[in-house]
Amino acid sequence: MRTTRSTTRKSPVTALLAALATLLGIVVLGTLSPTTAHAQSADDLATGLHISDGRLLEGNGNDFIMRGVNHAHTWYPGETQSLADIKALGANTVRVVLSDGHRWSENSPADVAAIVAQCKANRLICVLEVHDTTGYGEDAAAGTLDHAADYWIGLQGVLAGEESYVVINIGNEPWGNTNPEGWTAPTIAAVQKLRNAGFEHTIMVDAPNWGQDWQGVMRANAQSVYDADPTGNLIFSIHMYSVYNTAQKVTDYLHAFVDAGLPILIGEFGGPADQYGDPDEDTMMATAEQLRLGYLAWSWSGNTDPILDLAIDFDPSRLSSWGQRIFNGVNGVAQTSREATVYAGGNPGDTHAPSAAGTPTASAVAVTSVTLTWTAATDDVGVTGYDIVRVSGGSETTVAASATNTATVSGLDAETAYTFAVYARDAAGNRSARSATVSVTTDKGGSTPGVGCSVGYRVVGEWPDGFQGEITIRNTGATTINGWTLAFAFANGQTVTNMWGGSPTQNGASVSVAPASYTSTIPASGSVTVGFTAAKGATSAAPTAFTLSGTNCAMA
């Protein structure tokens, strides 16, 4: 949920949030019945992406599961490299923010045509959405779904024939928290307006309540909205932020649609905690994978609230901890994404598994992390990613995923022996045999001979109950530092809510930070920077001491 020229979340008002647990946990939000069948002929399938039996399929009948992110194109039209960067990290879909001119500068037909061409050039499915509708009924600046529908009709010459590559998301979060029951009729009218104009694309509709449907209006009326589309090519989009802060809320909502045979995906979601709650992104991603539903994380970069940036300053080499979670974590993009077969990369007839990857080698072994590298696997079509597993006796646990032949595994215990191996995957989902294993023992901590360091700590921005901080770690020694653990303590009960450049573990006042893959190495006389947001009380004194892998650091 965003504000003007901003990609900051907007949550329901405090009084409404106070009742969330009761509303979502006790009140019956609506019963979904089995989907009314829509007849589909071979000609229907030939139009491209379409819905059948509650699933999003490609024109050839292949199941397509969106795995990707949102990109704020309308506010950052110059960041055209972003689509290639998003694809390089393994995504198969990008949801592109556009404006119909009601609130922001209208994206012209030529601009939209260029975006579609870039999506196709980068082998991405393109979800196009109008953002001006956000929070209608509560935000006076928001536009209507009818206005958005007129905008899409004005783009018909650009979008016709792109049904295999483009999904039309009529309007983003098209109703706020004021009288959300008003969402249903305009949604049906907008869908039918596009169908009457001749659109055959799969249409996506967002929920009210700023996309989170915490009052259950979309859930209760989904069947009637779906039945109003004569083609049946309609998919529902739920946005999951702090409303969905428990596993039960996440699973109950998604299962309600799947059990009714109604198509749904998570069109936006966030993971970092805010003052309204802590979204359960692990359950969102795990449930999406279990139910084979799409998800699109918010958002690539440029957020007013930087905790939601997946990439810092649009730089794919500087993924935040949120970005690392989405792209390289368990059930993340690298591990689960499959390219659309329309690009010939995911041939459903491909049953040939990749060769096994080479034996991993370990480097940058630290107290809580290790970097693994292996010889790339080969495949007759192409290797799309790797799953890294921890092996213990006869069992194994997936601990990371990567689109390349290297990965950093973090969150390990000090002075502990681990065994790791790697699987390769191709675009059709075939998995290789497991590689040979490598055994690693993490450092025990304590002082590291020859390490010299200094630490600079500063507050970048502050608000009544929180702040954004920055920690710069400088290597003042004569040799490169490969892997590190930074430790410090807060004096006034501050709590880290999100971090980029490192992975925090907090126990009371004490904070321990393991490096991200791109900050794990600090050359002699070089430095790395870790940023974070934190909650605070009335006072927020700076930490007075820092250690790096057990060595006391000077204060810079």
- CA angle (540 as vertex; 538, 542 as ends), nearest 5: 170
First to last CA, the chain: 38
Cis bond before residue 517 (omega within 30° of 0) = no
With DSSP H G I counted as helix, E B as strand and the rest as coil, what are the percentages for the chain, rounded to 5? 20, 30, 50
Per-residue H/E/C for 292-324: CCCEEECCCCCCCCHHHCCEHHHCCCCECHHHH
- Token pair for 548: 């790096």
**3-state DSSP assignment of residue 509:** coil
Using CB atoms within 10 Å of the CB of residue 420, give its burial: 0 to 12 exposed, 13 to 18 middle, 19+ buried: buried
Catalytic annotation present for 162: no
Q: Centre a 10 Å sphere on the Cβ of residue 506 and count the other Cβ atoms it contains.
A: 16
- Token pair for 40: 């589909």
Active site residue: 106, 268, 281, 339, which one? 268
HSE-up (13 A, CA, CB side) for residue 360: 31
Cis bond before residue 299 (omega within 30° of 0) = yes
* Positive or negative: CA dihedral 109, 49, 123, 306: positive
Strand partners for 516 = none
What's the CA gap between 6 and 299, in Å, rounded? 12
Which single residue is written with the structure tokens 């016709």?
160
Active site residue: 106, 173, 200, 339, which one? 173
HSE-up (13 A, CA, CB side) for residue 358: 11
Catalytic annotation present for 173: yes
Query: Is 91 within 8 Å of 337 (Cβ atoms)?
Result: yes
What's the CA gap between 49 and 52, in Å, rounded? 10
Q: How many residues does the chain have?
A: 556
- Token pair for 230: 């004569």
What's the CA gap between 17 and 241, in Å, rounded? 12
Active site residues: 173, 268
